[in-house]
């Protein structure tokens, strides 16, 4: 997705939501892609640091479905909402694909997100085979954890390799939920920024 879109618009802002709990391999992969594709990388984070969150709330991701929802809201949804506001985004390009999960089978190529933001999924109909062929054709690097059996990669504490799990959907959030909320418009309650940026 990044290769496709930066070929057309090299300076497009590329949003990274940094929870503070990404795998070390993910941070290295981000650096590699940012350098190789000359990304206009824009990093957004929760207003409260991961360490402070743990002191106040404990390890939310270990507190069942509600804890995971709260964690994702604070660390993913709210920073993404802030990114959309700060960047004054009118269009959000996302690499979601219908084949990734049951919850994504009905995504449209173009759909409203929230307010004036339109979400575009250019890869909606792409299969894993299509992705592999494209990456091979353009000699693009894969995330290093894919070679260790990871089929969906998020935070280190809520992502698992496929291994003996029954489906890819079970590899995230202990199989309790598939989506973190970033792609669910109803989860976005955009706060006033008061001049703060990510």
Q: Is residue 56 part of a domain?
A: yes
Cα Rg of the chain (Å, integer): 17
Residue pointed to by tokens 């173009």:
110
Domain count, the chain: 1
SS3 (DSSP) at 130 = helix
User: What are the tens digits of pLDDT across the range 17-27?
Assistant: 999 999 999 99
User: What are the tens digits of pLDDT across the range 50-59?
Assistant: 999 999 999 9
Q: Is residue 87 part of a domain?
A: yes
Q: How many CB atoms lie within 10 A of CB 13?
A: 14
pTM for this prediction:
0.87
In the chain, what percentage of residues exceed pLDDT 70? 95
From first CA to last CA, the distance across the chain in angstroms is 23
Q: What CATH number is given to the structural domain containing 170?
A: 3.40.50.620
SS3 (DSSP) at 135 = helix
User: What are the tens digits of pLDDT across the range 72-112?
Assistant: 999 999 999 999 999 999 999 998 888 777 778 788 889 88
Q: Is residue 197 part of a domain?
A: no
By residue range, what is the domain housing residue 30? 2-187
Q: Is residue 11 part of a domain?
A: yes
Distance CA 2, CA 5 (A): 5
* 152 compared with 25, residue with greater pLDDT: 25
Catalytic residues: 180
Q: Is residue 149 part of a domain?
A: yes
Of the listed ranges 63-72, 142-151, 165-174, the one predicted with least confidence: 165-174
Torsion of CA 169, 78, 82, 195, to 10 degrees: -160
Q: Is residue 198 part of a domain?
A: no
Q: Is residue 51 part of a domain?
A: yes
Q: Is residue 195 part of a domain?
A: no
């Amino acid at each position: 997705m990044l290769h496709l879109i930066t070929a057309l618009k090299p300076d497009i802002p590329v949003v990274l939501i940094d929870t503070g709990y990404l795998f070390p391999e993910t941070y290295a992969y981000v650096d590699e892609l940012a350098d190789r594709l000359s990304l206009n990388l824009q990093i957004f984070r929760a207003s409260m640091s991961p360490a402070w969150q743990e002191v106040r709330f404990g390890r939310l991701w270990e507190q069942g479905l509600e804890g995971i929802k709260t964690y994702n809201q604070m660390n993913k949804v709210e920073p993404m909402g802030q990114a959309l506001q700060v960047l004054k985004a009118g269009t959000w390009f996302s690499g979601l694909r219908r084949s990734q999960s049951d919850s994504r089978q009905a995504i449209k190529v173009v759909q409203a997100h929230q307010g004036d933001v339109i979400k575009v999924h250019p890869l909606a109909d792409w299969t894993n085979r299509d992705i592999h062929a494209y990456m091979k054709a353009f000699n693009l690097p894969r995330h290093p954890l894919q070679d260790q059996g990871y089929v969906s990669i998020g935070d280190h504490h809520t992502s698992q390799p496929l291994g003996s799990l029954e489906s890819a959907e079970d590899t995230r959030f202990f199989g309790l939920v598939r989506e973190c909320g970033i792609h669910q418009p109803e989860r976005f309650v955009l706060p006033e920024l008061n001049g703060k940026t990510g």
